[in-house]
Structure formats: structure tokens, C-alpha cells
């Protein structure tokens, strides 16, 4: 396996201010900054970490393909005849087609380039004492923890695309776990083997960011959208705000639950999911669901931001979306109305433009401009789904339905779901994934993890290994 990964160094110009459009970084790449210069003070480590966040927000990763692009097309979120050839191939599970091979290779390449930069930062930070950093141990641990979490997340999403799900019990190695810098030829691992390393890194990251997020700067995570999305802060502390756009303590726990669930470790998944669900001192939860009134007007919060635990940021996102779509409208699957029966209230329906049959999530808003620039990665609802499923697997069907219905109720449904049969429960659980994560890139992996077919109206789509992409030819 050949890896030609070049470290990309970034300089960051931190923008300050209190307006809603102010962000915490404005990154410009350069090849002229030496390692010694970049890592000569704590601000250089902040710059390097910010640069990695910018890397993962590109269209080849979370700026398109891992959210509203290939991942959503594989879930058949879109009407296939209104897609380009690349996404038609994804929708048809034709992942070896020349129309999509290059884009899949770009996902692999961009992910491993960002992973290499995580590893470079981690090596450099190991050689620094706590006193080297402006805010001591908590800052060092925060930067290290976020880099570990980014490394784990990127590997995880490569695995979900290029390796069979754990449930398939495939013992063939597909994907390497790269944890050294400079990058060397790493041995490909089976899905089970690589998931052990992914979970390990999430657990390490969780412990490292805890002091900053729960003690030192907890109000940047607990203060609501004013801090997590808009980033109210002084100049000295701007690096520590915008926690929605960063791998924060709660988001890392949610990702740990997601990864543990994917690997079949339901005990660990349940524990992490409950922590996210119940997070907050004295029973006062820091996160809640976006209220319905914010979704049903022309000034709607199109990305339901109150319940976002992690959303990456790119100031060019709107432009990139428009350039890629061109004249195509990316209409939703014609069966979407069956996901939201007219007789049932569900305010997630408000996020759909029913005239054009498109999602508002990726349309430019003139009233919610901060949301135009973010891409959802983790939502609070996922902790509910994971916790519910773990309870169901334990045989506690009563509480499993209680937690599943908590989401349904939070999204406006007035009727309770009561079917405890396996087909009934999983049918509704997967339909909830589809309603909740439409055009966000998560639904396909719920089906893949469970090896359960997709049911879209009268259409049934088998999953099996059909939605496992071949490893790029020059990486085998």
C-alpha cells in the first residue's frame, strides 16, 4: 500500500468580534513555514489543529461526500434521475464504476492526509511540557485530545465506506490504521481489528478534553448557541469557543457510542450514549432539541442547530454546494412523503421544501447565515437511538420504546410507537434514522451496521456488502 502524504502547514488569522458571522479561524495554506517555527509556541499548535479542521471540511470529506454527497446518495435520500453520474452510481451501489472511483479515491486520500497531520501534531506535542502552553496542562490535553478524536473519526468514516460492517464477520483486511509520522506502509486491518484502535483513540480523547470542557471553559459548551455556534469570546480565549465546530467532550462520547455500536460492543455503546443523553450537572442537561417554532417560518433554523453536538465549518460551503449542483436540484427520493405520513405531526417535515421536493438543510438562508456554513456530523438524537437499541437488545423492550418515543415526541409526533416485534422495532428505528439524518450522510451506515434492507415505499434495496467501496487501486 502506497501512501504519499505531505504535511500541510497552515497559518491562521483569528477573527474577533461578537457578530453572528464571526468565526474562529480563517486559514490560508502555505508551504513555507518550518516545523520549528510552527511549533515554537502554543499558538502554533492551535494553528496546526485549526488547519486540520479546515482540511476535514473540504468537499471531498465532510463538506460534501461524507454528508450530503456520496453517503446520502448511497442511502437513496435523493431522486436518482436528478443526480449527476457520480451520485447515480452511489445510489445504485455501483461503487466500482468509473463515474465514482475517482471521488472515492479522493475521500481516501484526503482523509489520510488529514490523519498524517494529526499524527505530526501528536508527535510534536509529546515533546512539550505543560508549561509550554499558555493555559498549561488543560490546553495541551485539549489539543492532543482533539487531534486523537479527529484521527479516530477519519479512520472510522474510511472504514464505514471501504470495509464490510462488523456484522458480516469478514476476516479480510481492508483499511490500515495510520498512527505514525512520517507515514510508513501500514498493514491493513480487518474491520474488527481497526475498530479496536478507533474506540481506543476516542476513549483517550474523551479523558484528555474533559478538564477544558467540563471545568476550565465549560460555559463555551454549556452556554447554548451564543457560544457553540456564534462564539462570543474575548480575543485571548477565541480558540476555546465554537465548541460545536470542534471535537468536544460530549461529541466525542457520542462518537464513541457510534463506534462501539458499529463494532458490536453494546455495553460500551450504551454507557456512552447514556452519558450524552443525561449530560449536565444536577440533572440540568446542556443540550436539548431545536423547538418546532424555529422550523416553521421563512426564518427557519434549517439545520436544527440546538441539538447539534458537532458540525464542521467552511466559509466556502454555500459556494461549493452551488458550484457542484449546477442546474441539478437534488430532489429528495419520491418516497419521502411516506416517511412523514400526513396524518402524523412531525416538524422535521418543515425542513423540506415540498414545492420543489428538496431539503432546506443545504439551501442558502438569508436569515440564518451562521448555519449556512456548518455541516452536521453528530446530533443529540443519535444517543437516544443507540441507547434505545441497546435496551432492546437486552430484552428491555418497554424502556427501549420509551426512548425511541422520546425522539418522536421531541420532533412533534403525538402518537406513540408500540410495536415490540423485531421487524416492527427495527423498521421504525431505521425510519427514524431516515427522517432525522436525511441528506446528512448517516442513514446508510445504520442499514449497513445492521445488515438490514432499505425500504422506500414499495422499493426494497438489499444492503449486504453492496455499499462497501473497493479500496482504491493504488492503495492495495
- In a 13 Å sphere around the CA of 96, the CA atoms on its Cβ side amount to 4
Residue 454, beta-bridge partner list: 461
DSSP annotation of 216 reads I
Chain-wide mean pLDDT for the chain?
90
Long-range contacts of 335-341 (CB under 8 A, 24+ apart): 335/456, 335/457, 335/459, 336/438, 338/456, 338/457, 339/431, 339/434, 339/435, 339/438, 340/435
Residue 378, beta-bridge partner list: 310
Cell output for 465: 456488502
Of all residues in the chain, the percent with pLDDT exceeding 90 is 76
Mean pLDDT of 140-154: 99
pLDDT, tens digit, 9 for 90 and up, residues 269-287: 999 999 999 987 655 678 8
**Residue 345: how many other CB atoms lie within 10 Å:** 16
The most confident of the ranges 41-45, 71-75, 412-416 is: 71-75
Cell output for 162: 471501504
90 is a domain residue: yes
Domain span holding position 471: 9-278+378-475
Confidence tier at 157 by pLDDT (50, 70, 90): very high
Query: Into how many domains does the chain fold?
Result: 1
The alpha helices in 75-135, defined as continuous H runs, are 85-91, 98-126
pLDDT of residue 358: 95
296 is a domain residue: no
Cell output for 272: 456512552
pLDDT, tens digit, 9 for 90 and up, residues 345-400: 999 999 999 899 999 999 999 888 889 999 999 999 999 999 999 999 999 999 99
160 is a domain residue: yes
The residue with cell 486520500 is: 109
pLDDT of residue 29: 43
34 is a domain residue: yes
pLDDT, tens digit, 9 for 90 and up, residues 1-57: 444 334 443 333 223 232 333 343 333 344 445 777 899 999 999 999 999 999 999
Residues 6 or more apart in contact with residue 158 via CB below 8 angstroms: 107, 108, 111, 112, 175
Closest CA to 138 of 38, 42, 19: 42
302 is a domain residue: no
Mean pLDDT of 58-69: 98
Q: Mutual orientation of helices 98-126 and 136-162 as an angle, nearest 10°? A: 160
pLDDT, tens digit, 9 for 90 and up, residues 441-472: 999 999 999 999 999 988 899 999 999 999 99
Burial per residue of 243-256, b for 16 or more beta-carbon CB atoms within 10 angstroms, e otherwise:
bbbbbbbbbbbbbb
pLDDT of residue 33: 59
Residue 28, beta-bridge partner list: 11
Q: For residue 263, which phi and psi values (nearest 5 degrees)? A: -85, -10
Closest CA to 289 of 374, 362, 380: 380
Three-state DSSP at 439 gives coil
13 is a domain residue: yes
Helix (H) or strand (E) holding 188: strand 188-189
pLDDT of residue 23: 40
Its pTM stands at: 0.93
317 is a domain residue: no
Q: For residue 359, which phi and psi values (nearest 5 degrees)? A: -85, 135
Name which residue leads in pLDDT, 344 or 251: 251
Checking if the pLDDT of 86 tops 80, the result is yes
- CATH code at position 176: 1.25.40.390
pLDDT of residue 71: 99
pLDDT, tens digit, 9 for 90 and up, residues 192-218: 999 999 999 999 999 999 999 999 988
pLDDT, tens digit, 9 for 90 and up, residues 88-114: 999 999 999 999 999 999 999 999 999
pLDDT, tens digit, 9 for 90 and up, residues 313-346: 999 999 999 999 999 989 999 999 899 988 889 9
Helix (H) or strand (E) holding 374: strand 374-379
52 is a domain residue: yes
Amino acid at each position: 500500500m502506497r501512501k504519499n502524504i505531505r504535511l500541510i502547514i497552515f497559518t491562521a488569522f483569528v477573527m474577533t468580534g461578537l457578530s453572528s458571522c464571526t468565526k474562529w479561524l480563517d486559514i490560508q495554506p502555505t508551504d513555507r513555514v518550518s516545523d520549528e517555527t510552527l511549533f515554537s509556541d502554543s499558538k502554533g499548535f492551535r494553528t496546526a489543529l485549526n488547519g486540520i479542521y479546515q482540511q476535514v471540511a473540504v468537499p471531498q470529506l465532510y463538506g460534501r461526500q461524507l454528508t450530503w454527497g456520496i453517503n446520502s446518495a448511497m442511502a437513496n435520500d435523493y431522486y436518482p434521475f436528478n443526480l449527476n453520474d457520480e451520485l447515480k452510481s452511489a445510489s445504485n451501489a455501483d461503487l466500482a464504476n468509473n463515474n465514482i472511483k475517482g471521488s472515492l479515491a479522493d475521500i481516501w486520500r484526503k482523509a489520510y492526509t488529514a490523519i498524517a497531520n494529526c499524527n505530526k501534531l501528536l508527535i510534536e506535542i509529546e515533546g512539550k511540557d505543560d508549561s509550554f502552553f499558555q493555559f498549561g496542562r488543560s490546553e495541551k490535553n485539549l489539543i492532543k485530545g482533539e487531534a486523537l478524536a479527529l484521527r479516530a473519526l477519519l479512520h472510522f468514516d474510511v472504514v464505514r465506506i471501504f470495509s464490510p460492517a462488523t456484522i458480516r464477520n469478514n476476516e479480510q483486511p481492508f483499511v490500515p490504521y495510520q498512527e505514525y509520522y512520517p507515514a510508513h506502509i501500514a498493514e491493513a486491518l480487518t474491520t474488527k481489528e481497526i475498530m479496536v484502535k478507533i474506540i481506543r483513540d476516542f476513549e483517550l480523547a474523551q479523558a484528555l478534553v474533559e478538564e477544558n470542557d467540563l471545568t476550565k471553559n465549560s460555559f463555551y459548551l454549556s452556554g447554548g448557541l451564543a457560544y457553540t455556534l456564534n462564539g462570543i469570546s474575548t480575543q485571548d480565549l477565541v480558540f476555546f469557543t465554537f465548541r460545536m465546530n470542534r471535537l468536544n467532550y460530549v461529541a466525542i462520547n457520542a462518537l464513541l457510542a457510534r463506534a462501539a455500536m458499529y463494532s458490536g460492543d453494546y455495553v460500551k455503546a450504551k454507557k456512552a450514549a447514556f452519558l450524552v443523553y443525561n449530560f449536565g450537572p444536577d440533572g440540568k442537561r446542556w443540550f436539548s432539541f431545536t423547538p418546532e417554532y424555529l422550523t416553521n417560518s421563512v426564518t427557519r433554523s434549517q439545520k436544527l442547530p440546538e441539538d447539534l453536538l458537532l458540525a464542521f465549518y467552511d466559509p466556502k460551503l454555500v459556494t461549493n454546494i452551488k458550484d457542484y449542483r449546477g442546474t441539478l436540484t437534488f430532489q429528495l427520493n419520491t418516497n419521502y412523503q411516506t416517511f412523514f405520513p400526513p396524518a402524523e405531526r412531525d416538524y422535521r417535515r418543515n425542513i423540506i421544501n415540498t414545492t420543489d421536493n428538496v431539503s432546506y438543510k443545504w439551501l442558502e438562508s438569508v436569515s440564518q447565515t451562521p448555519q449556512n456554513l456548518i455541516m452536521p456530523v453528530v446530533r443529540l438524537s443519535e444517543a437516544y437511538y443507540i441507547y434505545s437499541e441497546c435496551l432492546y437488545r437486552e430484552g428491555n423492550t418497554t424502556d427501549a420504546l420509551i426512548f425511541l418515543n422520546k425522539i418522536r415526541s421531541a420532533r412533534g409526533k403525538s402518537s406513540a410507537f408500540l410495536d415490540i416485534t423485531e421487524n416492527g422495532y427495527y423498521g421504525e428505528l431505521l425510519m427514524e434514522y431516515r427522517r432525522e439524518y436525511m441528506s446528512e450522510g448517516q442513514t446508510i451506515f445504520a442499514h449497513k451496521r445492521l445488515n438490514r434492507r432499505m425500504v422506500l415505499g414499495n422499493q426494497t434495496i438489499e444492503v449486504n456488502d453492496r455499499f462497501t467501496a473497493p479500496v482504491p487501486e493504488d492503495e492495495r
